[in-house]
Amino acid sequence: MERSLCRTVLIADDDEGVRTYLTQFLAQNRYEPIVAADGREAYEMALAQHPDLILLDVQMPGLDGIEVCRRLKRRSGERYTPIVLVTSLVDLGSRVAGIAAGADDFFSKPFEATELLARIRSLLTLKSAIDELEHAEAVITSLELCVEARDPYTGGHCERLSHYAVDLGKRVGLTERELRTVRLGGLLHDLGKIAVPDNILLKPGPLTDDEWLVIRRHPGRGKDLCDPLKSFGEIALIIRHHHEKWNGSGYPDGLKGEGIPINARIVGIVDAFDALRTRRSYKPSFPLEETMRILRDETEKGLWDPDLMNHFTTMTSALPGATDGI
């Protein structure tokens, strides 16, 4: 049985004849059609029913198809849903506007059934691949949360770090794609600690030289776990390099200065900040003022990117609880 049997396609067109034709055509090819008569209804149905693909007429009353496409593509939950703009218009302006709105494909009336079906199948194949990648991301993220749960002192660390990393990234002008990378990098930065035994990870006292060697391997182990996922390429670099230092004294590769990816530099700074602010088995939490003094001293010693630290200092001045540790 074809996979298309369970795939839903939202048809949005103000022409009842077109809706009827497409509904019958899709049902005959074992897709599940759902229909909307105008742009606003299409937008609401897309949010409520999460179709696998959307066919949008460009010219509809209320919201036109281009505006519906633009609004849906801005939403994280619908960003990867394929949208095909269907229209009798063939002018360049409509296509340029559709591309700017994020449309995945265009199709002109009158329909050529074989071509339309081929495009739908191609887009749904791509959607299936994206869905599988999102599932893989969820599995990897769950592994990281399992690592965090092993240590009662680090609860919420990854979520906080991810939040701080995105805020700092916005301040230094990262793109939306780069912000997504630092968000996931913040969540997954210590993934490799899944390979560190509890007696080392949770040790309350100083580590031996051999135990430090085990700890220092965790960035590489984390990257190795992510390497099979091509979509994790830049995230894997954060995982491997978030313990590098501006002066080259970090690990695992001893990278220096701008040779350290900026996303990893961001995560490294916010990781150090949250570690200082959080009570651990071997130390108390530090107030915000003391934490920032330590980080500024370390920056003067060459550990952190001075420009990023300046932005981070400005950012933390607005944080609540200036004298309260976590």
Residues with catalytic annotation? 193
Q: Is 11 exposed, middle or buried (0-12, 13-18, 19+ CB in 10 A)?
A: buried
Which are the contacts of 99, defined by CB distance < 8 A and separation ≥ 6?
Answer: none
Distance CA(75)–CA(28), nearest Å, equals 31
SS3 259: helix
Residue 48 phi/psi, 5-degree rounding, is -80, -35
Q: Check whether the bond before 261 is cis (ω within 30° of 0).
A: no
Distance CA(195)–CA(222), nearest Å, equals 9
Q: Check whether the bond before 306 is cis (ω within 30° of 0).
A: no
CB neighbours (10 Å) of residue 280?
Answer: 13
Q: What are the residues facing 83 on neighbouring strands? A: 54
